[in-house]
Amino acid sequence: MQSVELTQEQWAAIERLRHEDVNRLRLTHHGDPSMTTVIDQIECRARTSKKLASTLSTYPLFIFPSVLSAEQCTSDSLASFHASLIPVDAAVLDMTCGLGIDAIHLATKAACVEAYEINEFTASCVRHNVAAAAIENLKIFCGDSVKRLETLNPDSFDCIFIDPARRGAYGKRLFALADCEPDVTALLPRMLEVAPLVIIKASPMLDIAHTVSELGHNVSRVIAVGDRRECKELIIICERKDTVSPVLCAVTLSGEKISGEWEFTRNEENNAPAIYGLPDAGDYLYEPYPATLKSGGFKSLSSRFKVKKIAPNSHLYSSQSILDDFPGERFRILEAAPFSKKSVRELKGRYDRLDISVRNFPMKPEEISAKLKIKGGGTERLFATKDANDRPIVIVATKE
């Protein structure tokens, strides 16, 4: 097994060359194993400079086992959120340690964390990082956590955290929980014997209703987590108690802070009376964050916030007043009109640039841009959608 430790000369080279182009460095130092290690570390730092900014600044001697580990690791912001879900001073079992970012963050809140990584070199790197950071309540083990689970007594831990591997043979991406490794759908009963709380990190591509059905009545909460650009993951919270209607949540992060939160139940959504209607110029338009969209609750949003939903399948909302706590982006409407030859002609004359979005609309943004002969970008956004009567409309708005 290759050495985990880096020499002082290698650390000096990492610092000296950290802003250099890694592809040029690889050509220059081809065949030099010591420099290959240096370049790998430089590339890993470049790839994770944003998502691991806190970790890399706090632990400057952090070692990455591979470039792939840097690509696949969770971010500091997500790991910090994961840590917020465990009880204070809990005993935690992390069954899928990987690069250890989640385990390190869990250790800031837990009394103790026992983390398992099946790859020997990766486990050695994480163990080195933990020792270098003097994190005394985090122990890293190389081994199969499923086998460890089989040996544990009931209530050995307060919480189990697991992020099943989503890549199969030849790098094929997997999404369904039963296809991932390990299979949490089969392990869940045993995990709940060992700990009363199980936190499962899963792909944002999963269908929430199917996932809840797959895991059974122990699912108490499903959280869609993302930023303002995309939904990053689903977190499934399982407990020993039976839950008929789990709470569905959306959390939007800005760095390590929560900038938008939303929760409801499926029963609430089924019974919520949605308010439909078209907005007017001067009204406020609300576009739910990606995690909010993933969680659903579209009628509940309308009912809870007293906002008009433009159409059943458009998922755009409007109101005459400002709502600071709506879990989405807010715009001020400049104009709203049917999508017709007249409106196309008028839009051409009024705008040089428009950022175009479509919701439940038969044309793609680039097709609309070509039809309007307007370039993309700019400070105003055109929303192309349909009204409650399935008629195409356009709304031009500016970001608040």
Three-class DSSP labels, 380-395: EEEEEEECCCCCEEEE
Q: How much of the chain is helix, strand and coil, in % rounded to 5?
A: 35, 25, 40
Strands 380-386 and 159-162 turn out to be unpaired
Identify residue 382 by its one-letter amino acid code. Answer: L
Write out the H or E segment, with its range, that includes residue 176: none
Q: Which of 53-62, 323-332, 347-356 has the lowest mean pLDDT?
A: 347-356
**Closest C-alpha among 340, 293, 343, 336 to residue 314:** 293
Q: HSE on the CB side for 350, CA within 13 Å?
A: 13
SS3 347: helix
Q: Average the pLDDT over 225-242 and give the result.
A: 96
DSSP assigned state of 143 = S
CA distance readout (Å), 314 to 248, 338, 381, 399: 20, 15, 16, 19
How much is the pLDDT for 375?
86
Q: Grade residue 172 by pLDDT with cuts at 50, 70 and 90.
A: low
Question: Read out DSSP for 14-53?
Answer: HHHHTTS-HHHHHHHTTT-HHHHHHHHHHHHHHHTTTTTH
Q: Which of 2-11, 53-62, 167-176, 245-254 has the lowest mean pLDDT?
A: 167-176
Q: Grade residue 175 by pLDDT with cuts at 50, 70 and 90.
A: low
Higher pLDDT, 171 or 391: 391
For 99-154, how does the pLDDT look when each residue is reduced to its tens digit (9 = 90+)?
A: 999 999 999 999 999 999 999 999 999 999 999 999 999 999 999 999 999 999 99
Write out the H or E segment, with its range, that includes residue 332: strand 328-338
Is residue 255 left, alpha or beta, with left meaning phi > 0 and alpha meaning psi from -120 to 50?
A: left
* Res 174 pLDDT > 60: no
Q: Is the peptide bond before 182 cis (omega within 30 degrees of 0)?
A: yes
Q: Grade residue 170 by pLDDT with cuts at 50, 70 and 90.
A: very low
Angle at 376 between CA 371 and CA 380, to 5 degrees: 105
How much is the pLDDT for 179?
86
pTM of the entire structure? 0.93
DSSP assigned state of 314 = T
